Amino acid sequence: MAEAAPKADLRALNPATNEHFGPSFPEPSAAQIEAACAAAAAAFDIYRETDLETRAAFLEAIAAEIEALGDELIQTAMAETGLPQARITGERGRTCGQLRLFAQVVRRGDWIGARIDPALPERTPLPRADLRQRFIPLGPVVVFGASNFPLAFSTGGGDTASALAAGCPVIVKGHSAHPNTGAMVGSAIDKAIKTAGLPAGVFSILIGQQRTLGAGLVADPRVKAVGFTGSRAGGVAFMRIAAERREPIPVFAEMSSINPVVLMPAALAARAEALGTAFVGSLTMGAGQFCTNPGLIFALEGPDLDRFEAAAVAALTVAPPHVMLTPGIFGAYEQGVNQLLDRDGVKLLARGCVGDGVNQAVGALFSVDAETFQRDEVLSHEVFGSSSLIVRVKDAAQLATVLESLEGQLTATLQMDPADVEAARPLLPILERKAGRVLANGWPTGVEVSHAMVHGGPFPATSDPRSTSVGTRAIERFLRPVCYQDIPDALLPAALKADNPLGVRRAIDGVL
Amino acid sequence: MAEAAPKADLRALNPATNEHFGPSFPEPSAAQIEAACAAAAAAFDIYRETDLETRAAFLEAIAAEIEALGDELIQTAMAETGLPQARITGERGRTCGQLRLFAQVVRRGDWIGARIDPALPERTPLPRADLRQRFIPLGPVVVFGASNFPLAFSTGGGDTASALAAGCPVIVKGHSAHPNTGAMVGSAIDKAIKTAGLPAGVFSILIGQQRTLGAGLVADPRVKAVGFTGSRAGGVAFMRIAAERREPIPVFAEMSSINPVVLMPAALAARAEALGTAFVGSLTMGAGQFCTNPGLIFALEGPDLDRFEAAAVAALTVAPPHVMLTPGIFGAYEQGVNQLLDRDGVKLLARGCVGDGVNQAVGALFSVDAETFQRDEVLSHEVFGSSSLIVRVKDAAQLATVLESLEGQLTATLQMDPADVEAARPLLPILERKAGRVLANGWPTGVEVSHAMVHGGPFPATSDPRSTSVGTRAIERFLRPVCYQDIPDALLPAALKADNPLGVRRAIDGVL
């Protein structure tokens, strides 16, 4: 959330130098917010009935236009975020791959969820009408770009791709941490709209830094859903605005997760050092600025855990510092680490290398016993960045108890060997209840964009566990079912007409 | 919602006589609420992993146990609700049919939504992990029974059936208008639980009348979702409690709808009298105590509408009075009708027959012009009962405008002939945006329990338009996806194991 008004016009800031650069972005006016919402509402009925091929080709055209921005986009995003070239290039690939994957989903048409229960005119005591169901999109969607993924979770990122795939016009609230990147991607989407001959209101971006911009968009009666990736405080604020509207609307906020990792005894005995080193690799990647950063480690205390700690300490001590995304994020990270340094019973195990640049995150690793962890709520708050806490448990029963006490998470991970299977079995139901994704023998960072992925989970990981913000199931969050009863074929949507002109899969009396 | 405390213990009231009968139901204590929530939470991990056949057979056993209650259930429900025998008998059939339909859905296993994206170890630059997804149930669900369907939308009704089908334990807040009916159905479900050897916490019912009972259940941290059918005020109150919890949870509230019916010109010209008569039949059925009661009629003013009105007036004038469900509902109906009698520009066309019994609804039909309707918000509030308002529009443009101004609805109906198709075409997108079900040439009362049904719609018809409370799609509201990444086969849930022991349909790389 932006700080209090008034402010100077927004300009990009290079977090590696604390220098502003590029053009000014005047704060969008109330009239501009109004115009974006009006245009989105006006575009909705047209866009939602685009044929599948037109919509799929449009998503592919966005990908091509983003690629056509070339190296200038890469350089701009790097300068605005401090993220390295390989990361931004990879993220562009992910962003465009995501758009193309949703194009495939749109073409396949399963998302329409077509169902037909044919009329039963002879049924007694009452005949049955002809009933047909399809999903239609919710309406205009406001998307809040994330600071930490300037491409993949931002202007043309996951929420935009899934909302457009569903048939919803999108209004992006461009993140103030990367205004030029946002504007460039926005112009690429505008080009794709023109090429496809779609109404301009299918997409718009409003770049600003005032709290009133986001709040105004969420409150607008023409907006029917919100996608958000960011802080817990920000997400909860928008949830509240959405709930207090005259017509409450769904908010899909991806907010806060500390991603517990459990080191099972056999795995820990067999490969403590390798686990310690790999853990620090996951922890410090991208300055730890991932929603899925492993912020909590659980293991039985003892010599194997000591070996893990020693390896992690050795790796972290030589881990280079990374510039963080913004001075604000860096400040919050420092504050979070300092708070942990002050807590009773929390022991600092290691810090990473200190650099000489500005806004550089220095990794931090702490340990604590399970009783203290359960007593002190602060210890299970997310510290966004490369900070993690090892929780030493006494036995399997305490491990289950402390896992049961956790809030909702995006991920939960088991490091386990075959000999750990029976000990892991009773933990799995707990982890399923806590998280949207359960992993074995990997690290939670790195979220595949595919059909079976879930990037979601119970509150506060997200505002709505029934959904995912990554993967093709994300299209479903922006849809609602409508039933057509005895509607003449001439008026039925194509997916439900008698001769199935779209050739989509349909369930007849519940059977596909 | 119950009125202010303290009160005498709850006893059933026969609304046809205003006489209490049967045993007292002491208000559930805080300890009883606690015990129900604890039992539900304890049962969850066991119940949610019951095999498909066990769960399906359990749902069928509930249906059989309800039927085994025999005529005593019918007589009890009739005495508590004032509803006639044919209606209650039919409703029992619907309730048991609903449970058996969900048993079929459970057996088929499509609801698990199994997806597998196989590992791609050779992929460059990064390999892909093995990713598998299934839906799991949300957790214990609180169900608020409806006053107007003592069987089909109450203790063993739609929300209970779909939540149990999904694998969620259910705690019913039994409606104070039919405590004995609720207790009998509850005992039937308890018997089915014992027969199936399931934990007792899979189902419980708490019968009471205090606001604290429902509020306490919705606020309990072990409760993960709420199903509600009732008033807008009640639903909104529970939405607020759920949103303000430490962990907000979804509320599926089905609340308020006035179910617009549009009489298209050719249909009106061809069959004004038949439409008028049929309309009054739908309006007065069951004293109009249906969520889908046709509370608004739109038509072009002129001689055809005059004929429709004359036929409706003739039919309503001889329509017999019906006893309503409770004195409270009768009082609210009278108040709603009296409020309409007082509004400027609203004309009373007819009242139904006045009877000599207590709590008897006398039908009411009003008319108003479209300008007045749009100006006066009160005119689009639901009056629960057999009251309806005819809105006379000047032309097609005004019809579209006034439809566009409506709040969300459960249903929207077009009375149309083939000659009306082109005039109806531009209305369809508006009606789709406003309602969960769009009908032609029927009346909205009568909600089929099937696969393609949608009983839902935008707020205030419901709290969440992405769902339905009737039909097999209702199981989805109580599910959330979980992804399993590289989890060993020995720990995978059956639906995702390599050899697919359940034989359920699975999507491999997005293809079924």
Q: What digits encode the pLDDT tens for the residues A444-484?
A: 998 999 999 999 999 999 999 999 999 999 999 999 999 99
Express each pLDDT in A196-222 by its tens digit.
999 999 999 999 999 899 999 999 999
What whole-number distance in Å separates Cα of residue A363 and Cα of residue A320? Answer: 9
Express each pLDDT in A329-362 by its tens digit.
999 999 999 999 999 999 999 999 999 999 999 9
What whole-number distance in Å separates Cα of residue A443 and Cα of residue A275? Answer: 10
Q: With contacts defined as CB-CB under 8 Å, which chain A residues touch B481?
A: 436, 454, 456, 466-468, 473
> Does a cis peptide bond (omega within 30 degrees of 0) precede residue B460?
yes
Residues of chain B with pLDDT under 50: 1-5
**What is the distance of C-alpha A501 from the center of its chain?**
35
Q: Which residues pair with A300 in a beta bridge?
A: A393
Q: How confident is the prediction for chain A on average, in pLDDT?
A: 96
- Mean pLDDT to the nearest integer, A60-65: 98
Share of chain A above pLDDT 90, in %: 96
What whole-number distance in Å separates Cα of residue A430 and Cα of residue A412? Answer: 10
- Mean pLDDT to the nearest integer, A262-290: 96
For residue A492, which of A116, A229, A125, A177 has the smallest C-alpha distance?
A: A116
Q: For residues B453 and B101, is the Cβ–Cβ distance under 8 A?
A: no
Which pLDDT belongs to residue B93?
Answer: 97
What whole-number distance in Å separates Cα of residue B363 and Cα of residue B218? Answer: 36
Q: Which residues pair with A367 in a beta bridge?
A: A347, A390
Q: Is A505 on the interface with B (CB under 8 A)?
A: yes
Q: Is the pLDDT of residue A5 over 50?
A: no
Catalytic residues of B: 254, 291
Q: Is the pLDDT of residue A40 over 90?
A: yes
CATH class of A30-255+465-483+491-496: alpha beta
**Contacts (Cβ under 8 Å, ≥6 apart) of A391:** A296, A297, A298, A299, A367, A368, A369, A370, A373, A402
Q: For residues B463 and A478, is the Cβ–Cβ distance under 8 A?
A: no
Report the first-to-last Cα separation within chain B, whole angstroms. 46
ipTM metric: 0.97
Q: A7 falls in which pLDDT band (50, 70, 90)?
A: low
| Every domain of chain A and the residues it spans | 30-255+465-483+491-496, 260-440
Q: For residues B380 and B357, is the Cβ–Cβ distance under 8 A?
A: no
Q: Is B505 on the interface with A (CB under 8 A)?
A: yes
Residues within 8 A of A (CB atoms), B 350-409 only: 407-408
Which pLDDT belongs to residue B6?
Answer: 54
Which pLDDT belongs to residue B3?
Answer: 45
The CA distances from residue A497 to A257, A370, B131, in Å, are: 45, 60, 36
- Mean pLDDT to the nearest integer, A71-77: 98
Q: Is B490 on the interface with A (CB under 8 A)?
A: yes
Q: For residues A330 and A324, is the Cβ–Cβ distance under 8 A?
A: yes
Q: What CATH number does the domain located at A260-440 have?
A: 3.40.309.10
Structure tokens at A265: 């005894």
Which pLDDT belongs to residue A366?
Answer: 98
What count of other Cβ atoms lies within 10 Å of the Cβ of residue A197? 9
Which CATH number is B29-119+128-255+465-483+491-496's, of 2.60.40.10, 3.40.605.10, 1.10.760.10, 3.40.50.10490? 3.40.605.10
Q: Would you call A436 and B488 a contact, using CB atoms and an 8 Å cutoff?
A: no
For residue A109, which of A494, A477, A505 has the smallest C-alpha distance?
A: A505
Express each pLDDT in A240-249 by its tens digit.
999 999 999 9
Q: With contacts defined as CB-CB under 8 Å, which chain B residues touch A439?
A: 129, 485-487
- A96 catalytic, yes or no? no
- Mean pLDDT to the nearest integer, A237-259: 96
Q: For residues B433 and B284, is the Cβ–Cβ distance under 8 A?
A: no
Q: Is B250 on the interface with A (CB under 8 A)?
A: yes
Which pLDDT belongs to residue A352?
Answer: 97
Pairing of strands B225-229, B203-207: unpaired
What count of other Cβ atoms lies within 10 Å of the Cβ of residue A498? 10
**What is the distance of C-alpha B423 from the center of its chain?**
32
- Mean pLDDT to the nearest integer, A488-492: 98
What count of other Cβ atoms lies within 10 Å of the Cβ of residue B307? 17
Q: How far is A159 from chain B (nearest CA, A)?
A: 17
- Mean pLDDT to the nearest integer, A284-296: 94
- A407 catalytic, yes or no? no
Q: Would you call B473 and A481 a contact, using CB atoms and an 8 Å cutoff?
A: yes
What whole-number distance in Å separates Cα of residue A472 and Cα of residue B467? Answer: 19
- Mean pLDDT to the nearest integer, A312-321: 96
